[in-house]
Amino acid sequence: MTKFLLAVHVLAAIVAVGPVTVAASMFPPAARRALARPGNPRAAETLRLLHRICRVYATMGVVVPVFGLATANSMGVLGDTWLVVSIVLTALAAAVLVAFVLPRQTALLEAAGAGDEHEHGYGDGAGAGATSAAGTVPSPAAAGEGTAATGTPAASATAAASSATAPAAVADPRATVRLAMFTGVFNLLWAAVTVLMIVRPGSTTGA
């Protein structure tokens, strides 16, 4: 049973976590290309595909710690320091992915005009905050209603100014740099967990 649990744990880590790390690493440069060529359908489709891979395989990644804990319990190493550290690092990696990487990918999708209604369900709070901070352009209907309600030239000028400045804020190229930084942190955390899983310092089977 221990060998079976360990095999499933390792396979799940390869199949689920591997695609996330690769796709997340490819997303920032792809986003830079999409922002540099707005309206390019191929660039937009590439962004959507990479983001979808990150979301789907991040959900599948829940299997990794579940079978990892089952394997550790079967091996009798739940109290070992290396395992506790691995659990903490895994939790941090998941937090970075959900709170920082995925919402910023969603915001960049919107900035590149590659947004999809199916992409907005992940990280609603953080994603909405990132999109709001980036500056979502109000719809013409909403702007028209606001102008009709106020009926003042000043309100119309304010709405026009907001619409004019929002795209520049959305397309801030530094957003891809920040995303690359958080993606690098996520990858480093998973690399540390992988090393601990192989070396297992302090365990009876450790090198």
Domain count, the chain: 1
Contact 163, 140 (CB under 8 A): no
Would 118 be classed as within a structural domain?
yes
- Structural domain of residue 115, as residue ranges? 2-123+176-199
Contact 75, 172 (CB under 8 A): no
Contact 30, 43 (CB under 8 A): yes
Residues 6+ apart with CB under 8 A from 156: 147, 150
Mean pLDDT within 173-193? 94
Residues 6+ apart with CB under 8 A from 21: 186, 187, 190
Would 41 be classed as within a structural domain?
yes
**What gap in Å lies between CA 175 and CA 2, rounded to an integer?**
44
Residues 6+ apart with CB under 8 A from 27: 47, 50, 51, 54, 105, 108, 179, 183
Mean pLDDT within 125-140? 40
* Count of helices and strands (H, E) across the chain: 10, 0
Would 132 be classed as within a structural domain?
no
Mean pLDDT within 167-172? 46
Residues 6+ apart with CB under 8 A from 53: 19, 20, 23
pLDDT at 79: 86
**What gap in Å lies between CA 91 and CA 89, rounded to an integer?**
5
Task: Give SS3 for 180.
Answer: helix
**What gap in Å lies between CA 120 and CA 141, rounded to an integer?**
22
pLDDT at 174: 87
The length of the chain is: 207
Mean pLDDT within 178-182? 96
Q: What is the pTM of this model?
A: 0.70
Would 143 be classed as within a structural domain?
no
Would 149 be classed as within a structural domain?
no
Higher pLDDT, 158 or 196: 196
Mean pLDDT within 10-16? 91
pLDDT at 115: 65
Span 101-128, pLDDT tens digits:
999 999 999 988 866 544 444 444 434 4
Span 26-50, pLDDT tens digits:
999 999 999 988 888 999 999 999 9
